[in-house]
């Protein structure tokens, strides 16, 4: 069952409420694509490595988010260390689709950690593909190697 968008909005009420509580902003496929083409943000795939290998957004960093809370707390520190050096760039988190909560958890962690501009691509890979946008395949390298391969400064 798919939830209806909130009145006057593009996103379901549940996603809008989560974003407001979490302190991040939602983006749709069209906005995410524009941000990616313009180099406006780093895209972080928080799905499992196997799903990343099967297909991910172009130049996205592979950063699987563990399922346990303890591991998530440890990853929050790693996330900031990997994505920020002198300053933090805007960051967009995504997962497989709108029902997966990992991108919500990652976005909230980034806000708590002090990222200045945090986004969640709520539709994830499913919305990307539905919009006719391309995926790329490849292995999920350790995060530092992933940044080096994609030319990101960290």
User: Model confidence over 105-128: pLDDT tens digits?
Assistant: 889 988 888 888 999 998 999 999
Assign 3-state DSSP to the chain and report helix, strand, coil percentages, each to 5. 45, 15, 40
Cα 17 from Cα 6, distance rounded (Å)? 9
Q: Where are the domains of the chain?
A: 16-149
Cα 23 from Cα 4, distance rounded (Å)? 22
Q: Select the more confidently predicted residue: 83 or 103.
A: 103
Fold of 16-149: Oxidized Rhodanese; domain 1 (3.40.250)
> Is the pTM of the predicted complex or chain greater than 0.85?
no
- Residues with Cβ within 8 Å of 92's Cβ and at least 6 positions away in sequence, in order, are 27, 32, 35, 41, 42, 43, 44, 119, 120, 121
How do strand 42-45 and strand 91-94 relate by DSSP bridges?
parallel
């Amino acid at each position: 069952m798919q939830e209806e968008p909130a009145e006057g909005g593009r996103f379901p009420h549940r996603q809008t409420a989560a974003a407001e509580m979490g302190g991040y902003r939602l983006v749709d496929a069209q906005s995410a694509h524009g941000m990616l083409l313009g180099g406006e943000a780093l895209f972080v795939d928080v799905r499992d490595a196997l799903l990343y290998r099967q297909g991910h957004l172009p130049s996205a960093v592979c950063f699987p988010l563990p399922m346990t809370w303890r591991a998530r707390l440890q990853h929050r520190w790693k996330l900031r260390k990997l994505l920020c050096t002198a300053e933090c760039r805007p960051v967009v988190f995504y997962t497989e689709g709108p029902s997966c909560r990992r991108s919500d958890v990652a976005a909230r962690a980034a806000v708590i950690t002090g990222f200045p501009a945090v986004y969640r691509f709520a539709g994830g890979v499913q919305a990307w593909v539905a919009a006719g946008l391309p995926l790329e395949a490849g292995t999920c390298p350790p995060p530092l190697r992933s940044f080096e391969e994609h030319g990101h400064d960290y």
